[in-house]
Amino acid sequence: MSGFSSDEPDPGPGPADEGPQSDDEANLKPSAMRGTEPMYGYLVAAELLVVAILNLTDTHGAGAPAHPEKLLSAVGILAAVAVAATIRFTRHRMVVGFVTIAAAFVVSLPKVPRSLNVVHVITIAIPLIYAFILTQRQNKARMAEIKQARAGGSSEGRTGGKAAGGRSASPASRRERRRHGGEQQTGPKASNRYTPPKPKRPQRPTH
């Protein structure tokens, strides 16, 4: 039975949702990308690549520069490709976020017609949001790792304390058993220093 009512659609996982992690992903470092993060990173790289190509091809219209900066537009294409390569070979949240932001600023540097001004604003906003999400997830994973390590240390300390208590209680229980065993004995306790009394000689009858 679904947890959502019939009139409310089931919202799918968004870019900010990490979703369930497998055992392999749970053992990764906090800085390692996981889940759908690489996929959204490739989408951001594709968006930067499209805008960089528009910078190179759309050079006419209101506000267009007299001399288009084609070299800078080509550098923007390389920057977009560098984002995809960084995701592919590093899978590092902090590094990918930094490269994505740097590539977005490079792509938005060329002077373009006014029709592309809004596109450049979006070009900067999307990578910033993506990098922010990666940073927040890395910090969250690091804090969870620290809490888990502290919880493991405290549980080991409690286990060691219980073991030490068991060891200290053992002599007491042994003394208790010896005490009870001593109460059940009758007569003097056997000892090397103990000398039993000599039997008395019978007295001779006098006539």
Instruction: Please give the tally of structural domains in the chain.
Output: 1
Q: How far is CA 79 from the centre of its chain?
A: 30
Is residue 35 one of the residues assigned to a domain? yes
Tokens of 149: 């390590």
197 compared with 105, residue with greater pLDDT: 105
The terminus-to-terminus CA distance of the chain in angstroms comes to 117
Contact 15, 137 (CB under 8 A): no
Distance CA 196, CA 188 (A): 9
- The residues near 165 (Cβ < 8 Å, ≥ 6 apart) are none
Largest CA distance in the chain: 161
Q: Does residue 19 register a pLDDT over 70?
A: no
Q: What is the pLDDT of residue 13?
A: 43
Is residue 21 one of the residues assigned to a domain? no
Is residue 55 one of the residues assigned to a domain? yes
106 compared with 203, residue with greater pLDDT: 106
24 pLDDT band, cuts 50/70/90, is: low
Is residue 200 one of the residues assigned to a domain? no
Overall average pLDDT of the 147-155 stretch: 80
Q: What is the pLDDT of residue 108?
A: 94
Is residue 4 one of the residues assigned to a domain? no
Which structural domain, as residue segments, surrounds residue 85?
31-140
Distance CA 11, CA 18 (A): 14
61 pLDDT band, cuts 50/70/90, is: confident
Is residue 163 one of the residues assigned to a domain? no
Low-confidence winner among 85-89, 130-134, 197-201 (lowest mean pLDDT):
197-201
Nearest by Cα to 52 from 125, 114, 109: 109
Cα pseudo-dihedral 56, 60, 64, 69, rounded to 10: 30
Q: Under DSSP, is residue 75 helix (H, G, I), strand (E, B) or coil?
A: helix
Is residue 109 one of the residues assigned to a domain? yes
Q: What is the pLDDT of residue 180?
A: 58
Q: What is the pLDDT of residue 20?
A: 56
Q: Under DSSP, is residue 32 helix (H, G, I), strand (E, B) or coil?
A: strand
2 pLDDT band, cuts 50/70/90, is: very low
Is residue 135 one of the residues assigned to a domain? yes
Q: What is the pLDDT of residue 63?
A: 79
58 pLDDT band, cuts 50/70/90, is: confident
Overall average pLDDT of the 141-153 stretch: 87
